[in-house]
Structure 1
Amino acid sequence: MNQPATPPRIFAPHRRLAARRRAWALQSRPDAARYVLEDMVEDVLERIDFLRVEPKTALVVGDWTGSLAMALRARGIEVTCADPAALGDALRLEEEQPYLVRGFDLIASLGTLDTVNDLPGALIHLRQALNSGGLLIASLMAAGSLPALREIMQAADGERSYARMHPMVDVRAGAQLLQRAGLANPVADGRDIKVRYRSLTGLLGDVRAQALGGVLTQQGAAVDKAGWARALAAFDAKRDDEGKVTESFEVLTLSGWRP
């Protein structure tokens, strides 16, 4: 009998954990960027209203703002909150392992699944945590995200390019993943969040504050002084007439039902 193939170790769990905990710490600042997560939260609520879903229990994964849980509780829904990097009394989930807590009518996973090594397996675990007829809504960063920063980092590396930003899933692959996970009526769609920056440090700060940085197993060499100068020059070359650079954050949302 053929043994199932082991997923490649693209992402380093300890770096993923560190990036999310750093983002949690940065979120304590009043000016911390959280527009990607806020967009995901708004989208989940809109989908629930459109589908006329009235769950009794819900699991919310990855929302450090707490706004989705608050909105769902205001509707009379019993909510459990979790995160891969949870501390204290929060529930920490190993997304590539079977969930210890199950029986949810709704699961909303926000911004965590794009850095798991076994995404098909993680989706299967999410499906198994749902009640029969339960709904999964999973939002993650998608292929096409951060094109400006990718080009800037390539310029920073000069002749020797390093893998600094991880691969991401596109809409087509997302739909196939939902089918593989055994979810009914699968839907995969994407949207684009565009943000304009006056400085490269501002862009990098937003990336770190939202845990969107690279967490690859194989990390590139640190950017030296000459590389940073090349990065700044590449950023300046992209400025528009108002002196700003536009960056794109692509969000992929996957949804489906447990049969």
Structure 2
Amino acid sequence: MQTLTDTLALSRNRARATEMFLRERVADDVQERLEEVNRSFTSPLIVTPTPALWSQIVPDAPTIPVTETLPVSEAAHDLLIHDLSLHWANDLVGQLVQSRRALAPDGLFIGTLFGGQTLHQLRTCLAEAESRLTGGLSPRIAPMGEIRDLGGLLQRAGFALPVADSDTINVSYTDAFALMRDLRAMGEANALHARLRRPTRPRVLLDAAKIYAQHFADPDGRITATFEVVTLTGWAPAASQPQPLRPGSATARLADALGTAETPLKTDQN
């Protein structure tokens, strides 16, 4: 397995994090989802780099840090929340499988991560500036999954009733440098294993900021940055859950249910 993330660098970035507005918004959304489920959870667990944020949302719920191997017991929880970290996982499917195994039958999993549209403006501008000035590209922003693929990973990990949906959040900044400072403050600075281990040339950043202002600024001169938050929801399989019917086992015709006449399909005879 190829190593995507430098976990030590990621830990350092998170230890210096001071800005929580996106995490707070995502946590509030998870709280709303839990209220809609209308179910009491007696043994929840939260996988998060920011445990203090969850103390008011799921009171008394134990938290564990995000690690490659999660310190969990099999079938020990009826709710597991994986908090806005899966986009950094070296083994995303492995994190999902471990989460599913930690759930008791009919336990609920909610995982949040940044999706493929996140920071697409910044990626474009940095790539154009760097390729123009250096003739090449270096890894700067983690590759993020598309929602259609992430939903399939839930099924691959063994979850029942899998759902993936996304929320697009557009944030306004004075310029690209303000955005990059905010990413560092969020603990989301570059932690890719293959990143440059020397400072980026100032000219690259200056040119990227100019390109950003040219293509992604509003009439007031402020730039927009997109964050796509994908929420993955699934249940640990249980016999009590709805099951799909076997092919050919239907007892009523669709035409009868719709109140229409059934017309045989004509085929060409050559």
Work out whether the TM-score is over 0.5.
Answer: yes
2:210 corresponds to 1:233: yes
Deviation digits for residues 121-140 of structure 1 (CA, Å, limit 9, x no counterpart): 11111111112211110000
- Match of residue 152, structure 1, among 125, 128, 131: 125
Deviation digits for residues 58-107 of structure 1 (CA, Å, limit 9, x no counterpart): 1122262634332222xxxx4101223xxxxxxxxx2x325345511111
Match of 2:46 in 1: 60
The 3-state SS of whatever aligns with 1:70 is coil
Q: Tell me how many residue pairs correspond in the alignment.
A: 231
Which has the larger Rg? 2
Q: Gaps (5+ residues) in structure 2?
A: 238-270
The answer on whether the counterparts of 2:51 and 2:63 sit within 8 Å (CA) in structure 1 is no
2:161 corresponds to 1:185: yes
Deviation digits for residues 204-225 of structure 1 (CA, Å, limit 9, x no counterpart): 1221122222221111353213
2:174 corresponds to 1:198: yes
Match of 1:20 in 2: 14
- Specify whether residues 19 and 67 from structure 1 end up closer, same or farther in structure 2 by C-alpha distance, changes over 3 A only: closer
Deviation digits for residues 152-171 of structure 1 (CA, Å, limit 9, x no counterpart): 21233133222211111111
- Match of residue 168, structure 1, among 144, 149, 159: 144
Match of 1:82 in 2: 64
The answer on whether the counterparts of 1:11 and 1:116 sit within 8 Å (CA) in structure 2 is yes
Match of 1:254 in 2: 232
Aligned Cα root-mean-square deviation (Å): 1.8
The answer on whether the counterparts of 2:5 and 2:89 sit within 8 Å (CA) in structure 1 is yes
| Identical residues among aligned pairs (%) | 28
Q: Gaps (5+ residues) in structure 1?
A: 1-6, 85-93
2:71 corresponds to 1:99: yes
Letter in 1 for 2:177: T
Distance 1:47 1:171 in 2: 18
Shift of 1:188: 0.6
Range that drifts further, 236-245 or 178-187: 236-245
TM-score by length of 2: 0.80
